Structure 1
């Protein structure tokens, strides 16, 4: 069995490759060829240290695997183990911090590519941390954006200047109402526990990706936006319903199950999208994403050979 280090992952994995791997994996899920292992957690406090171990995974046509990670006082360390689906033999264990940084944004890119209007011109990003930067990198190539708006509690100006310098687009720090009301594509990448803006501000036709939290107590989007959404796309319904604060804390009747669809199903059988339809993508992160990208890295390091 091979050990793939963080340095090897950084040297091998690109965002484009992660998007490619996830597009295929979600399509396989939508075709009934993949299954997901739900996230499990165990937590304790020992000698003043807040400890948690979490595990999740998936079965794909060529590979199956688990992602296991520790949390110590809010800091994470990730490891993924892969097994061959033909023989059951272990293939590799990967250090997965860099993989995890890219996988959330890559999944959002798959959703945005399929669900955001082609003529979208303004991108708004809530947050200025690691995921905000990864999402800018993932989303900007997908449409002919003409400007970027950044809303964050701190660092918004610096992040906007960085985006302008890197991507050659006008970028500015703005307040929440400006970001929510002027963008056609919105990504919320924060640790907020309460909604970031009034959902009534979002204009018709927008695509909103909420990726900042996977805990039932936290939410970035309010009931007003969830009620307005013509479609709420999720990675896997059991995970969204069990882990997303947007689902757990929504008032009764706000989220009509008929308006909720898994991303894989939408890729396998696209739904018509009206030009004024608001589409929400709510991500909590599922093991399918980690296993699919880890498998791509493993194959690449094996020279492209099948598992």
Structure 2
């Protein structure tokens, strides 16, 4: 069994490669091949009072020849990730992979798969809520996908700094704005925050917009309000059991706001012929993160290191 360090992961992992591996895995899953292990958590306090948690999630991807789990610790809100990868042909362990960098990239790479499939081809304005690690990763992943001419950054702090950084790095117009302006002007909105309550009034979102909410995987926290969820022609999720059990948008929505027929899994959507929802339809993509993503990218990293 190979032990793969963070440095080795960083040496071969790229957003395009990760997105390609994810798309392949989601299509296979959408075709009924493979299985996802739901996230499980256990929590306690240490003798020094620190909040401790261990979490695990995983997937079986037989068409890729692998299965695996991601296990991670949380101590006072700080995470450490490890992925265990096995061969589906022999059952033997292939690798134990340090996965902090992989996890940082995997959420943005998955959003990129969703945006590529769901955003209007002529989308020109990207709004990013948040200014942390995920906000930067999402800017890097999404800006090459559409002819974006402006980036609007809304965050409680450092919005101006991130806007300046993006303007210089990607040679695009980028400015810090308030939440209402970001919601009303953007063609693609991505929320990468730790907010527990909705970030903006969903009535402000323009027709034809795509909204990707990726900041929370806890039932008590939500970034999007019922007004937006009710307006959405499609609500795209990674895996319905995870979304309904972990996403605050689903767990806290008022009765009748989310109609089951409007909820579709990303894999099923990718595996089927393109679905037409109309140029003015609003689409919401809600991510909580599932083990399929971690195992698919871990497999890509493992293969790259064998070359």
Give the TM-score range, shorter chain. over 0.9
Report the Cα distance in structure 2 between the residues aligned to 1:71 and 1:33, rounded to whole angstroms. Answer: 32
Report the Cα distance in structure 2 between the residues aligned to 1:221 and 1:51, rounded to whole angstroms. Answer: 28
TM alignment of 1:38-187, pairs within 5 A: 38-47=38-47, 48-61=49-62, 62-187=65-190
TM superposition shift of 1:273: 2.4
Report the Cα distance in structure 2 between the residues aligned to 1:243 and 1:214, rounded to whole angstroms. Answer: 5
Q: Deviations over 1:180-232 (max 9, x none)?
A: 00000000000000000000000000000000000000000000000000000
Alignment partner, residue 225 of structure 2: 222
| SS of residue in 2 equivalent to 1:254 | coil
Normalised TM-score (structure 2): 0.98
TM superposition shift of 1:119: 0.6
Is 1:281–2:285 an aligned residue pair?
yes
TM superposition shift of 1:64: 0.1
Alignment partner, residue 29 of structure 2: 29
TM superposition shift of 1:45: 1.0
Report the Cα distance in structure 2 between the residues aligned to 1:241 and 1:34, rounded to whole angstroms. Answer: 20
Report the Cα distance in structure 2 between the residues aligned to 1:170 and 1:80, rounded to whole angstroms. Answer: 38
Instruction: Supply the RMSD in Å over aligned alpha carbons.
Output: 0.5
Alignment partner, residue 10 of structure 2: 10
Normalised TM-score (structure 1): 0.98
Q: Deviations over 1:70-108 (max 9, x none)?
A: 000000000000110111011000000000000000000
| SS of residue in 2 equivalent to 1:193 | coil
Report the Cα distance in structure 2 between the residues aligned to 1:273 and 1:200, rounded to whole angstroms. Answer: 19
Report the Cα distance in structure 1 between the residues aligned to 2:246 and 2:72, rounded to whole angstroms. Answer: 17
Alignment partner, residue 272 of structure 1: 276
Report the Cα distance in structure 2 between the residues aligned to 1:169 and 1:299, rounded to whole angstroms. Answer: 35
Structure 2: state its 5+ residue gaps: none
The alignment of Structure 1 onto Structure 2 pairs a total of residues equal to: 303
